[in-house]
Chain A
Amino acid sequence: MTTGHVDQPVTQGAQDADGQDPDAQDADSQDPDGQGAGWVQEALREHDEQLKSEQRNQEQASQEQGDQEVRHAHRGSPQPLPGTVREELVLERIDRARRARPRVKEDRITMSHGAGGKATQTLIEAVFLDAFRNPLLEPLEDAAQLRVNGARIALSTDSYVVKPLFFPGGNIGDLAVNGTVNDLAMAGAVPLYLSAGFILEEGFPVADLTKIVASMQAAAQLAGVQIVTGDTKVVEKGKADGCYINTAGIGMIEPDVNLGVAHARPGDAIMVSGPIGDHGVTIMLARGELDIEADVISDTAPLNALVASLLAQTTGVRALRDATRGGVATILNEIATAAGVGVLVNEDDIPVRAQVRGASELLGIDPMYVACEGRLVAVVDGAVADIALAALRAHPQGAQAAIIGHVRAELPGIVQLKTAFGGTRIVDLLVGDPLPRIC
């Protein structure tokens, strides 16, 4: 099976070499089995059209520029252009490509679709949002904000497939309660009631289930919520990895609270409530595959009390997000995209425990993409940043809160990091799945 055009000589051996007609109308019919060639051809066609329209624009622009430009001859470039002009064009082209209608290119779900990064986002937009589309879903915040008979209600749901079920700092039950409580809190809601649905594997020890459920009750009491309805299903041995849990929750949003990442504006401060990456690293190490020991425990915790305390002390909070799958980096990108603003953060200011940093280095992952389960990112009006920070720090869960950067108008849609070293780089959306099944 070849990819690419037929005129390229290829040593084919036993396979036939005349499979493809580059002028065929339907790209996908050339590649019915795998995802190899079809989308590549289509993407190349789109690319060629963009290129042609750019060349038309460029021809006009070049005539106006005169003869003084340095001309570089590069093999493969369609047209010789001054270095920086060409780079600008490509970057613009990338921006346009990224803003194009999302489409899932794979024909099967891969682990990337669950990682919380680019693939997850594309799946949500191209499949779920596309099918369910309505104004309440579109903000794609942690919780939906609804109005029912004049009351403002937040509704959220989450499923938990963490492996292993029990880990230092908690178990799947803690995650299930805290996760949904936190999603509601991020909408500025007071969490009230949760549902809990269980999918249990045949053979799962009842003692383990009892432990999990006890944890859930303890977590619910700590958070001040009640689990008021639920469901149980059992599947055959080999499915459900012991236990999967889904929780949904509702809460009441205070009258004057209106949070959302789209509200971020230049001058806003961005802060985190504590050191990042603890949960994801704990899970990776708890899998026991890596012969690594460290004293890291999951940071799973309910954040509603912290949020209530913050909102009580300032009205300048624009948005709250809890940093789960995809980590802080994902949230920063969501802010930049939703609000059409730039984000600049300082590596030096981001709190990371030494052990989390050490483990991340060993594993070759970046703590900014590692999940937390008890940390929030807050976007706050720059004028009240200090008040907000003090409010977070006054609460035990926010003791190590820190301002990590700010929102600005330059480079909209882009998250830039000032490295500890003084240089700058981009923090893009996560691609792939370095840490599967962490929540």
Chain B
Amino acid sequence: MCLGIPGEVIEFLADQPDLARVDVSGVRRVINVGLLSDDPPKPGEWVLIHVGFALSKIDEDEAAAAMAFLEGIGQAYEDEIAALQESMIE
């Protein structure tokens, strides 16, 4: 029920401004983007899909920031592990 999947907007349907075709890993589906009418997504942008509707746009900057945080944690971890290993070698 909380099921929300990220998908990329491919195109809008010609006669129906509320409907857009999205791509999820090569699978294409028509969904309703009416809930994003304040700031409609453009082809190439990503949205969160839930029960046939786009609930929200995926903010690529925020996604990048989240990954950067995780990379940072990962790097710090690797540094620590490396330091630990060096101290063990002697």
Contact A358–B26 (Cβ < 8 Å): yes
Q: With A362-B5, A362-B49, A364-B3 in contact, do A293 and B29 touch (Cβ < 8 Å)?
A: yes
- Inter-chain CA distance A292–B21, complex, in Å, is 9
- Inter-chain CA distance A358–B30, complex, in Å, is 14
- Inter-chain CA distance A290–B29, complex, in Å, is 8
Nearest B residue to A364 via CB reads: B3
- Inter-chain CA distance A304–B30, complex, in Å, is 40
Whether a CB of chain B sits under 8 angstroms from the CB of A424 is no
The 8 A CB mask of A353-389 against B (1 = contact, 0 = none) is 0110111011010000000000000000000000000
Contact A358–B24 (Cβ < 8 Å): yes
Interface residues of B in 16-54 (CB under 8 A from A): 24-30, 49
State how many residues of chain B have any CB contact under 8 Å with chain A: 10
Nearest A residue to B26 via CB reads: A355
Contact A355–B25 (Cβ < 8 Å): yes
Residue in A293, A354, A361, A364 whose CB lies within 8 Å of B28: A293
- Inter-chain CA distance A295–B27, complex, in Å, is 8
Q: Please give, as numbers and ranges, the residues of chain B lying within 8 Å of A23 by CB-CB distance.
A: none
- Inter-chain CA distance A33–B90, complex, in Å, is 78
- Inter-chain CA distance A364–B24, complex, in Å, is 13
Q: Please give, as numbers and ranges, the residues of chain B lying within 8 Å of A362 by CB-CB distance.
A: 5, 24, 27, 29, 49
Q: Please give, as numbers and ranges, the residues of chain A lying within 8 Å of B24 by CB-CB distance.
A: 358-359, 361-362
The interface centre, meaning the residue of B3, B26, B27, B29 with most chain A CB atoms within 10 A of its CB, is B27
Contact B25–A358 (Cβ < 8 Å): yes
Q: Please give, as numbers and ranges, the residues of chain B lying within 8 Å of A293 by CB-CB distance.
A: 27-29
- Inter-chain CA distance A362–B3, complex, in Å, is 8
The interface centre, meaning the residue of A295, A357, A358 with most chain B CB atoms within 10 A of its CB, is A358
Nearest B residue to A357 via CB reads: B25
Chain B contact surface mostly: strand
- Inter-chain CA distance A259–B25, complex, in Å, is 38
- Inter-chain CA distance A290–B3, complex, in Å, is 16
**Nearest-Cβ distance from residue B44 to partner chain A, whole angstroms:** 18
**Nearest-Cβ distance from residue B6 to partner chain A, whole angstroms:** 9
Contact A361–B30 (Cβ < 8 Å): no
Nearest A residue to B1 via CB reads: A364
Interface pairs (25), CB distance under 8 Å: A290-B29, A291-B30, A293-B27, A293-B28, A293-B29, A294-B27, A295-B26, A354-B26, A355-B25, A355-B26, A355-B27, A357-B25, A358-B25, A358-B27, A359-B24, A359-B25, A359-B27, A361-B5, A361-B24, A362-B5, A362-B24, A362-B27, A362-B29, A362-B49, A364-B3
Nearest B residue to A361 via CB reads: B5
Nearest A residue to B21 via CB reads: A293
**Nearest-Cβ distance from residue A265 to partner chain B, whole angstroms:** 38
Nearest B residue to A354 via CB reads: B25
A-B pairs with the 3 shortest C-beta distances?
A: A358-B25, A358-B27, A294-B27
**Nearest-Cβ distance from residue A356 to partner chain B, whole angstroms:** 9
- Inter-chain CA distance A294–B24, complex, in Å, is 10
Q: Please give, as numbers and ranges, the residues of chain A lying within 8 Å of B26 by CB-CB distance.
A: 294-295, 354-355, 358
- Inter-chain CA distance A295–B25, complex, in Å, is 11
A362-B49, A364-B3 given; name 15 further pairs at CB < 8 Å: A291-B30, A292-B27, A293-B27, A293-B28, A293-B29, A294-B27, A354-B25, A355-B26, A357-B25, A358-B24, A358-B25, A359-B25, A359-B27, A362-B5, A362-B29
**Nearest-Cβ distance from residue A66 to partner chain B, whole angstroms:** 39
Contact B5–A292 (Cβ < 8 Å): no
